[in-house]
């Protein structure tokens, strides 16, 4: 078969692909770190006009890149997946089972979702292909399960989609054609392997009855030509089973801009300036000996061996000096490095707070926080939509009506609480304006507590640790837990903080000692702690119904030895 022309070849790249490539290529290079920037020294560490090859090579080897982009992406992933995705009750059982190994290669769904979001934040967007092994089209779901046939998800990087077309159906734009490049290994000889490039083409079509269907083709590069090695109709899904998760600004149907492009440029700026400063420091740190009137001898050799045990002959009238650069520009370079680092701190989530302690107004802090949260929240929402769409394609392969839903956490407010916010919440808790369960939930979301901590269970554990006797209750731990958390028909759950528990304990102790009538103690509990009569009786337990007990002496009051003169 003859080699197709450029526009007829499945490997033909759209202009939009080339335009995006320079952006994601730069972010990938920066994320590649020191070695990548050194390998591409002509681009990122160019040779100075008067610099010879040896000095250029030395300067490049003395250059080390700071991993600001990688740290920022890692921080965003940590925030997005502090809570694992929650599959909805409407997700069919086969897909729930597949979630444990979503790509057929042992990857859990949460890990796969993290990988997709990682690529989307790096490149601008990432795609998910829902695939299925070749199989007869008339197999029932039970037959598929019996043959261990299953749908699986494939992460498709932005550079793998070399071309695409959009069509309009029912007033909405859908993917009409897409070409995905895949590079794999095929056996070569008895033990070797060689790379082989294939192109998978998906086309939206319609059968004779007008029902949507998807046609597929497989093209393989062999020597100097690309030939078609397979074609057919996809069984199950009626539309091209490809979903998109946007991590950056969407600029077209399958076009986007990396969200950390600005940070990547600042990272390169930082690397270049730091490289210049380090090389300049190297030059300034080595004094240069200067000789005036020295006899170089018959060989004319200008090299001089110097040490504390060797002398140097200088002709009469000559001189020897040390030329030491002042390095006045080093301070300016350091200031520029600090300025760039501050700019990177503003651009990256990993270094969101200013390092110089500069004050900001509440409006500035809230605006910055909201902007960063919204950027990450949009990316997470897009990922959730892409996964749900992929579930729908999986359901199509299984002959099911719907793939169900899942929830990814997008509320990062609690994770970005300022110190003043935390102080306010703590004070509210101490005043009793915030229940212990709610306070613990805030702390859990912020990451200050274990992710799987159950606030209600923790309340009971706290009650158990305090002990029943300290509360003056006779019913054991159950009474303490009941006193801490008591549900009443017309009242919300009652949860007392530490100070309130201490005050309630004093009232119960006074009633038990006969210092207060039982009715008075019950009224005090109801008035002071907003308890219902049932709650107050639960806390009071049997105090005041038996022989009064003698309370322990209170230092400074009841104990004569502790009273002041």
pLDDT band at 90 (very low <50, low <70, confident <90, very high): very high
Report the pLDDT value the prediction gives residue 453, as an integer from 0 to 100.
60
Report the pLDDT value the prediction gives residue 336, as an integer from 0 to 100.
64
Residue 131 scores a pLDDT above 50? yes
Residue 532 scores a pLDDT above 70? yes
What is the value of pTM for the model shown?
A: 0.66
| 200 vs 531, more confident | 200
Tally the residues of the chain.
565
CA-closest candidate to residue 432, choices 368, 345, 337, 503? 503
Q: Which residues contact 394 (CB under 8 A, 6 or more apart)?
A: 94, 95, 98, 130, 151, 153, 403
Residue 1 scores a pLDDT above 80? no
Burial grade of 12 (CB within 10 A; 0-12, 13-18, 19 or more): middle
Mean pLDDT of 438-465: 62
Q: Does residue 504 contact residue 539 with C-beta atoms inside 8 Å?
A: yes
Residue 552 scores a pLDDT above 60? no
Q: Which residues contact 124 (CB under 8 A, 6 or more apart)?
A: 20, 23, 24, 158, 246, 247, 248, 249, 256, 257, 258, 259
Work out the number of other CB atoms within 10 angstroms of the CB of residue 214.
21
Report the pLDDT value the prediction gives residue 564, as an integer from 0 to 100.
43
Mean pLDDT of 452-462: 65
pLDDT band at 446 (very low <50, low <70, confident <90, very high): low
CA distance 258 to 563: 73
| 535 vs 548, more confident | 535
- Our CA angle for 474, 475, 479, nearest 5°, is 115
CA distance 106 to 99: 10
Report the pLDDT value the prediction gives residue 102, as an integer from 0 to 100.
96
Report the pLDDT value the prediction gives residue 497, as an integer from 0 to 100.
63
pLDDT band at 294 (very low <50, low <70, confident <90, very high): confident
Q: What is the DSSP string of 112-167?
A: HHHHHHHHHHHHSEEEEEEE-----TT--HHHHHHTT---EEEEE-GGGEEEEEEE
Report the pLDDT value the prediction gives residue 71, as an integer from 0 to 100.
85
Mean pLDDT of 478-485: 43
Residue 188 scores a pLDDT above 80? yes
Residue 78 scores a pLDDT above 70? yes
CA-closest candidate to residue 151, choices 328, 407, 389? 389
Report the pLDDT value the prediction gives residue 2, as an integer from 0 to 100.
42
| 349 vs 120, more confident | 120
Q: pLDDT tens digits, residue range 339-368? A: 666 666 555 543 333 334 444 454 444 444
User: How far is residue 29 from each of residues 38, 179, 262, 511, measured CA to CA in Å?
Assistant: 10, 25, 14, 74
| 236 vs 389, more confident | 389
Q: pLDDT tens digits, residue range 368-392? A: 444 445 678 889 999 999 999 999 9
Mean pLDDT of 131-159: 81
Report the pLDDT value the prediction gives residue 442, as an integer from 0 to 100.
64
Element holding 551 (H helix, E strand): none
Report the pLDDT value the prediction gives residue 106, as an integer from 0 to 100.
94
| 436 vs 215, more confident | 215
| 400 vs 285, more confident | 400
Q: Does residue 129 contact residue 242 with C-beta atoms inside 8 Å?
A: yes
Report the pLDDT value the prediction gives residue 403, as an integer from 0 to 100.
94
The mean predicted confidence, pLDDT, of the chain is: 78
Burial grade of 181 (CB within 10 A; 0-12, 13-18, 19 or more): buried
Q: Does residue 256 contact residue 27 with C-beta atoms inside 8 Å?
A: no
| 467 vs 520, more confident | 520
Report the pLDDT value the prediction gives residue 437, as an integer from 0 to 100.
67
Mean pLDDT of 445-456: 58
DSSP state of 515: S
Q: Which residues contact 542 (CB under 8 A, 6 or more apart)?
A: 474
pLDDT band at 413 (very low <50, low <70, confident <90, very high): low
Q: Does residue 120 contact residue 437 with C-beta atoms inside 8 Å?
A: no
pLDDT band at 484 (very low <50, low <70, confident <90, very high): very low
CA distance 562 to 296: 96
| 96 vs 83, more confident | 96
Residue 512 scores a pLDDT above 70? yes
């Amino acid at each position: 078969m003859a080699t197709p022309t450029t526009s007829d070849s499945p490997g033909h790249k759209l202009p939009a692909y080339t335009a995006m490539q320079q952006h994601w290529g730069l972010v990938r290079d920066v994320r590649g770190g020191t070695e990548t920037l050194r390998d591409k020294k002509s681009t990122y560490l160019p040779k100075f006009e008067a610099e010879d090859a040896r000095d250029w090579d030395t300067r490049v080897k003395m250059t080390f890149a700071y991993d600001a982009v990688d740290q920022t992406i890692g921080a965003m992933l940590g925030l997005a997946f502090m809570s694992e995705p929650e599959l909805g009750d409407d997700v069919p059982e086969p897909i729930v089972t597949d979630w444990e190994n979503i790509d057929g290669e042992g990857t859990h769904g949460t890990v796969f979702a993290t990988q997709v979001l990682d690529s989307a934040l790096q490149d601008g967007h990432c795609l998910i292909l829902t695939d299925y092994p070749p199989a007869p089209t008339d197999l029932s779901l039970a037959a598929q399960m019996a043959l261990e046939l299953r749908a699986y998800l494939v992460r498709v990087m932005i550079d793998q989609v070399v071309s695409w077309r959009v069509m309009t159906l029912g007033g909405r734009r859908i993917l009409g054609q897409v070409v995905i490049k895949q590079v794999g290994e095929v056996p070569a000889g008895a033990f070797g392997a060689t790379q082989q490039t294939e192109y998978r083409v998906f086309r939206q079509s319609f059968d004779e009855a007008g029902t949507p269907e998807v046609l597929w083709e497989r093209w393989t590069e062999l020597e100097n030509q690309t030939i078609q090695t397979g074609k057919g109709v996809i069984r199950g899904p009626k539309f091209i089973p490809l979903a998109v998760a946007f991590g950056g600004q969407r600029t077209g149907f399958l076009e986007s801009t990396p969200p950390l492009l600005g940070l990547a440029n600042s990272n390169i700026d930082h690397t270049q300036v730091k490289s210049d400063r380090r090389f300049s420091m190297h030059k300034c740190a080595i004094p240069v000996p200067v000789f005036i009137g020295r006899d170089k001898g018959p060989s004319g050799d200008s090299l001089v061996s110097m040490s504390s045990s060797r002398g140097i002959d200088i002709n009469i009238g000559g001189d020897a000096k040390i030329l030491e650069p002042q390095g006045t520009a080093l301070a300016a370079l350091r200031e520029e490095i600090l300025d760039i680092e501050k700019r990177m701190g503003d651009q990256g989530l990993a270094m969101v707070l200013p390092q110089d302690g500069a004050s900001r107004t509440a409006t500035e802090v809230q605006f910055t926080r909201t902007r960063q949260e919204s950027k990450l929240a949009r990316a997470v929402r897009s990922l959730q939509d892409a996964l749900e769409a992929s579930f729908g394609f999986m359901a199509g392969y299984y002959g099911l009506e719907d793939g169900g839903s899942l929830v990814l956490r997008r509320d990062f407010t609690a994770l970005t609480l300022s110190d003043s916010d935390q102080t306010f919440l703590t004070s509210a808790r101490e005043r009793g304006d915030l229940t212990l369960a709610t306070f613990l939930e805030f702390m859990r979301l912020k990451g200050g507590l274990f992710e799987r901590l159950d606030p209600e269970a923790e309340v009971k554990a706290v009650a158990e640790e305090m002990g029943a006797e300290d509360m003056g209750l006779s019913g054991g731990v159950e009474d303490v837990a009941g006193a801490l958390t008591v549900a009443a028909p017309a009242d919300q759950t009652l949860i007392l903080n530490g100070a309130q528990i201490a005050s309630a304990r004093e009232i119960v102790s006074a009633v038990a000692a006969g210092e207060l009538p039982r009715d008075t103690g019950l009224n005090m509990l109801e008035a002071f702690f907003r308890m219902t009569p049932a709650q107050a009786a639960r806390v009071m337990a049997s105090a005041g119904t038996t022989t009064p007990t003698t309370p322990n002496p209170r230092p400074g009051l009841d104990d004569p030895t502790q009273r002041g003169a």
